[in-house]
Amino acid sequence: MAASLRVIVVLVCVTAGAALADAAAGGVRVGLTRIHSEPGVTASQFVRDALRRDMHRRARFGRELASSSSSSSPAGTVSAPTRKDLPNGGEYIMTLAIGTPPQSYPAIADTGSDLVWTQCAPCGERCFKQPSPLYNPSSSPTFRVLPCSSALNLCAAEARLAGATPPPGCACRYNQTYGTGWTSGLQGSETFTFGSSPADQVRVPGIAFGCSNASSDDWNGSAGLVGLGRGGLSLVSQLAAGMFSYCLTPFQDTKSKSTLLLGPAAAAAALNGTGVRSTPFVPSPSKPPMSTYYYLNLTGISVGAAALPIPPGAFALRADGTGGLIIDSGTTITSLVDAAYKRVRAAVRSLVKLPVTDGSNATGLDLCFALPSSSAPPATLPSMTLHFGGGADMVLPVENYMILDGGMWCLAMRSQTDGELSTLGNYQQQNLHILYDVQKETLSFAPAKCSTL
């Protein structure tokens, strides 16, 4: 985990009082690392494990959509990437501190989910191993059970919807289901501390979070998750940050630093350059979990100057909540509906004058080319352009859609069943400064050398 990701957080929240005012004025820094940055991990191992994790995540998306159509629960299923036996995934980990005195814990930063949670003591055999000590709510005088009156209390909302009375103090357990498992615990509120050094630390009281003491999954390299989605439980919403941005260094660069920012500083950094493009978010369906996701209007794809003959509406979000395309920091490899993926695959296949080889066992990818011994890939492939609504073109250089692994050169995309959710993954977001303006409902992006920010 050598690639440290610096985070500048500018906090603007009515409920946090003077601490948030101070943060808004000066900002604070927290650290973040990339899970897969481990010595000896080959590109094929990384992609295979990331794809397996993506498949679990895709299965979870499908189950959530089905449950949202049949369930009356307002909470739905909070989404999060699972980590069971996937040591080399492509998630990014934010380091925060919780409680009094502050205790640091690493958590996956995820734009595709809302809930902020960490494992809590007591935690028995149902918990996974984590790199930091367990947070113990009984040892922190600032811990509180989230009151029933809170709009963020999942358990109380479910009880009221069912016509029942919430338990006294709302000390009831929640259960969150994921693609390959679940986590369960008590919802509370606590003081969170942001800052990489004592000089710039800011303590923010009253953050609602999940205190988990049972889980079926091993979230390798983390102690929980920080949701950055569009729902009220996400860190972005609770801090009323209004906007956030990130700039991800290349996956094979395990030494350089990346940057994630929340609040006004995000716009100042992301929009202070050339080549900035902006596109409006597509309104999300009102039901969870789809209400969490950042949907985009992808209207077409070009390879070089050639626009691909992708059927109109291939990426359209349907009235029943199916289809559409989201941008997701918790997914590694971009998935496209099959009608679009076939055109992309055919275009790349026609341009690369190398023999096709079966790389599915090594990487899980569908299109790989055999390279001559000790040879770099030919520098003849053009960039790929994703055309978004409002004339916003996202240009992907070849290293953002092809991956090199020894003797193979593979298309780092995969097919998705037509009509299902497509996802723009973080591999395709390398060296792009991406701004989520949740107030103006727009996504802005520009090419950048992320290691220098």
Shared domain check, 363 and 226 = no
User: Is residue 270 a part of any domain in this protein?
Assistant: no
Name the domain boundary from 265, 292, 320.
Answer: 265
Q: Which amino acids are annotated catalytic?
A: 110, 328
Chain segment 271-293, per-residue pLDDT in tens: 887 899 999 999 999 887 789 99
Shared domain check, 322 and 441 = yes
Shared domain check, 193 and 142 = yes
Chain segment 346-362, per-residue pLDDT in tens: 999 999 989 999 988 88
User: Is residue 199 a part of any domain in this protein?
Assistant: yes
User: Is residue 162 a part of any domain in this protein?
Assistant: yes
What is the tally of structural domains in the chain?
2
Look at residue 385 in the predicted model and tell me its pLDDT.
98
Shared domain check, 343 and 234 = no
Shared domain check, 356 and 322 = yes
Whether residue 261 has pLDDT greater than 50: yes
Shared domain check, 370 and 231 = no
Shared domain check, 377 and 248 = no
> From residue 8, how far is each of 24, 92, 379 by CA, in Å?
11, 15, 37
Look at residue 79 in the predicted model and tell me its pLDDT.
26
> From residue 208, how far is each of 115, 153, 164, 366 by CA, in Å?
9, 9, 23, 42
State the residue range of the domain holding 318: 275-452
CATH code where residue 434 lies:
2.40.70.10
pTM of this structure: 0.83
Shared domain check, 174 and 72 = yes
Shared domain check, 300 and 178 = no
How far apart are alpha carbons 87 and 119 in whole angstroms? 19
Chain segment 102-118, per-residue pLDDT in tens: 998 888 888 988 889 99
| DSSP code per residue over 88-134 | T---EEEEEEETTTTEEEEEEEETT----EEEBSS--TTSPP-SSPP
